[in-house]
Amino acid sequence: MSLDYLAFLRAESARFAEVLADVDPGAGVPSCPEWTAADLLWHLGEVQHFWGTIVRDRLTDTDSYEEPVRPDAHPALVDFFAASSTVLIDALASTGDDVGVWTWLDADHSVGFVRRRQAHEALIHRLDAELTAGDVTELDAGLATDGVLEAIEWFFGGAPAWATTTADGPIGRLATTDTGGSWRVQVGQWSGTSPNTQRTYADEPLLLLVDAGEPSFEVSGTAGDLDAWMWNRPTQGEIRRAGDPSAFEAVIRQGVQ
């Protein structure tokens, strides 16, 4: 499936800004209980400022990046988001996917990774904004299908290059009922010592995409609902479970925001 991530980034960012422009800045974000609407606006603005700078300046490390100062007034925060979003969108529009830049992912240091990641970042936080305002609209089914895969690949399935991975947990199947997406996953873990910090990690949970093995559980729903559910957001419809997906759910519920 070929997706225009930049077009989605534009649309989702615009909707995000539209929703939060008129929301009480102190309103709580139901899907991120520790945040207010102002915190959510600052978060995505800061994220887009960071990645816009990375791509625009072709940075291969973060040493020279200067963090922005959070505005106090809500109108200034709205303006900050708009400016940050413009920087990111313009930088991506003028840069090819194969250009190398800094990313947090050992396996992919390309602008293409940033383009895809930021489309999904905007999608999920647009949903957060709509939940805050009480005006939820559907997630695009094609983007959400890709979002399920991206979450498996890079968030719940990513392990550092220096880590040792073990796949010995239950195998299951995820499926989107409206777009035909289907992925076989296995619960596993990774261990190792970071060469940069010397910190040792043991049995950190992860998911692995696998080609074989009989699934012992299945989780399914529409693409929009499954993507939202993977990110611990409320769904519009039912997420159906068969078998015992508890080990899988334990992995995806760790540290999601």
Question: How does pLDDT run across 18-51, given as a tens digit for each residue?
Answer: 999 999 999 999 999 999 999 999 999 999 999 9
Instruction: Classify residue 110: in a domain, yes or no.
Output: yes
Among residues 133, 161, 189, which one ends one of the domains?
Answer: 133
Residue 217: closest CA among 169, 158, 170: 170
Count of other CB atoms within 10 angstroms of residue 94: 9
Question: For position 106, what pLDDT does the model report?
Answer: 84
Contact indicator for 27, 39 with CB cutoff of 8 Å: no
Instruction: Classify residue 138: in a domain, yes or no.
Output: no
Identify the domain containing residue 210 by its residue range: 143-252
Same domain, 129 and 184: no
Strand partners, 183: 174
Strands (DSSP E) contained in 59-199 are 164-176, 182-193
Sign of the alpha-carbon dihedral angle for 34, 36, 37, 38: negative
Q: How far is CA 181 from CA 86, 210, 230, in A?
A: 32, 15, 14
CA dist., res. 109 & res. 221, Å (int): 32
Instruction: Classify residue 173: in a domain, yes or no.
Output: yes
CA dist., res. 193 & res. 204, Å (int): 12
Same domain, 124 and 148: no
Question: For position 5, what pLDDT does the model report?
Answer: 98
Q: What is the CATH number for 186?
A: 3.30.1050
Same domain, 116 and 151: no
Same domain, 79 and 166: no
Kindly report the pTM of this predicted structure. Answer: 0.94
Same domain, 183 and 225: yes
Instruction: Classify residue 257: in a domain, yes or no.
Output: no
